[in-house]
């Protein structure tokens, strides 16, 4: 759950930074009582891929909390200095050790409750030699009927996979935007 009023101290000088509404603003920010720094907090981007091999999709079993032991598409927080596509590619290499050809943007999912936007790209696997990284217990290819729907780590993974297989069956992939409540 995204935590309101989570900042206690200034990131610049360590001074106390209670929440109040700055002049010419309309929402509360943590403002340093010592140096006046205003701390703006904004949603984080999570970027990932749907790596496909014919009618199968690659999933990773998580070796880390949260949701240890649950299955996910390769995804993670976007880093500074990279594009969304570069981040999605990096996460796929880090978590699955998979070689992919990145295709188009596929889902844009707002998760307002936790202050995140999740973006998944479609991708084609170049081969099936995977080398799971330290954050992954196991990587495996799943057909639609084999997907462990009750053991998926995140709602955005579920929503992306539901749309993916529906699009796969009808033979056309559109970009999907949705809000996850």
Name the site residues for Zn ion (rule: CB under 5 A): 10, 12-13, 15, 32, 34-35, 37
Q: Which is nearer to Zn ion, 12 or 64 (CB)?
A: 12
What is the smallest separation between the CB atom of 10 and Zn ion, expressed in angstroms? 3
Q: Can you give the C-alpha Rg of the chain in angstroms?
A: 19
Q: Which is nearer to Zn ion, 14 or 69 (CB)?
A: 14
What is the smallest separation between the CB atom of 19 and Zn ion, expressed in angstroms? 14
136 near 51, Cβ under 8 Å?
no
Q: Which is nearer to Zn ion, 10 or 111 (CB)?
A: 10
Q: How far apart are CA 85 and CA 89, in angstroms?
A: 6
Q: How far apart are CA 164 and CA 22, in angstroms?
A: 44
Q: Which is nearer to Zn ion, 15 or 133 (CB)?
A: 15
What is the smallest separation between the CB atom of 13 and Zn ion, expressed in angstroms? 3
Residue 72's closest CA among 103, 49, 105, 94? 49
Computed from CA positions of residues 77, 82, 84, 86, in that sequence, does the dihedral angle turn out positive or negative? negative
What is the smallest separation between the CB atom of 23 and Zn ion, expressed in angstroms? 17
Q: How far apart are CA 67 and CA 62, in angstroms?
A: 7
């Amino acid at each position: 759950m995204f935590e309101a009023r989570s900042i206690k101290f200034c990131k610049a000088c360590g001074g106390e930074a209670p929440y109040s509404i700055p002049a010419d603003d309309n929402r509360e920010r943590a403002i340093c009582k010592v140096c006046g720094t205003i701390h703006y907090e904004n949603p984080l981007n999570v970027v990932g891929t749907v790596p496909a091999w014919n009618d199968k999709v690659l999933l990773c079993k998580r070796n880390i909390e949260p949701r240890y032991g649950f299955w996910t598409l390769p995804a993670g927080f976007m880093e500074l200095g990279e594009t969304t596509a570069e981040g999605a590619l990096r996460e796929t290499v880090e978590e699955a050790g998979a070689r992919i050809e990145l295709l188009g943007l596929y889902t844009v999912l707002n998760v307002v409750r936790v202050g995140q936007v999740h973006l998944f790209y479609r991708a084609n696997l170049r081969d099936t030699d995977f080398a799971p990284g330290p954050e992954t217990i196991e990587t495996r290819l799943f057909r639609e009927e084999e997907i462990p729907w009750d053991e998926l780590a995140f709602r955005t993974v579920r929503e992306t996979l539901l749309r993916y297989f529906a699009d796969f069956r009808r033979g056309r992939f559109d970009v999907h935007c949705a809000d996850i409540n």
